[in-house]
């Protein structure tokens, strides 16, 4: 065993989820009759990672949405890791956004913050946004 490069690229949660699903489908498609044995360690980690990712915001993302988000953020000078975290965590409020972007106050204005949140909400739509709002309204009432 030889490690050539420890960090050759970063993956978003969506890519990992898509890869695992794809690999599983491949495995079933290529299955030769009578050779159905999947390594136990693979099954365990696959199941647990998929469970974690299914509960995370990436479960409703698609490749088109991610491309659209990247394009919409083109005008802001964000680092790769910042964009990656926006994808993985999908910030809904200013606090969450400020967490993932370093030194936000110095690099951007508050208007930028609102605009970024709007971009995220439109590029990565999720059903539970409305539910959350309804809950809040119910609580207020």
8 binds other proteins (CB under 8 A): yes
Contacting range for other proteins; rule: CB under 8 A; set: 65-73, 80-88, 106-114, 117-125 = 80-88
SS (H, E, C) 13-29: HHHHHHHHHHHHHHHHH
Q: Can you tell me which of 62, 63, 89, 141 binds other proteins, judged by CB under 8 A? A: 89
Is 129 a binder of other proteins (CB under 8 A)?
Answer: no
Strand, helix or coil for residue 79: coil
The yes or no reply on residue 44 touching other proteins (CB under 8 A) is: yes
Q: Which is nearer to other proteins, 4 or 138 (CB)?
A: 4
Residue choice 95, 137, 138, 141 for contact with other proteins (CB under 8 A): 95
Q: Does 121 bind other proteins (CB under 8 A)?
A: no
Q: Toward other proteins, which CB reaches closer, 11 or 67? A: 11
User: Which contacts (CB < 8 Å, 24+ apart) does range 83-91 have?
Assistant: 84/10, 84/12, 86/120, 87/12, 87/13, 87/14, 87/58, 87/61, 87/124, 88/12, 88/13, 88/56, 88/57, 88/58, 89/57, 90/57, 90/120, 90/124, 90/126, 91/117, 91/120
Considering the rule CB under 8 A, would residue 48 count as an interface residue with other proteins? yes
Determine phi and psi for 25, rounding to 5 degrees: -65, -45
The residue ranges that bind other proteins (CB under 8 A) are 1-13, 15-16, 19-20, 23, 26-27, 30, 32, 35, 38-39, 41-42, 44-46, 48-49, 51-52, 56, 81, 85, 88-89, 93-95, 98-100
């Amino acid at each position: 065993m030889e490690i050539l490069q420890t960090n050759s690229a970063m993956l978003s949660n969506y890519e990992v989820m898509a890869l695992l699903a794809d690999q599983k489908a491949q495995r079933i498609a290529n299955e030769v009759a009578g050779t159905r044995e999947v390594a136990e360690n693979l099954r365990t980690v696959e199941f647990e990672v998929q469970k974690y990712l299914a509960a995370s915001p990436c479960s409703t993302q698609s490749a088109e949405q991610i491309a659209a988000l990247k394009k919409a953020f083109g005008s802001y000078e964000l680092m790769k890791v910042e964009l990656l975290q926006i994808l993985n965590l999908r910030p809904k409020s200013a606090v969450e956004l400020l967490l993932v972007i370093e030194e936000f106050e110095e690099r951007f204005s508050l208007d930028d913050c609102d605009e970024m949140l709007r971009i995220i909400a439109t590029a990565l739509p999720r059903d539970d946004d409305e539910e959350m709002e309804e809950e809040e309204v119910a609580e207020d009432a």
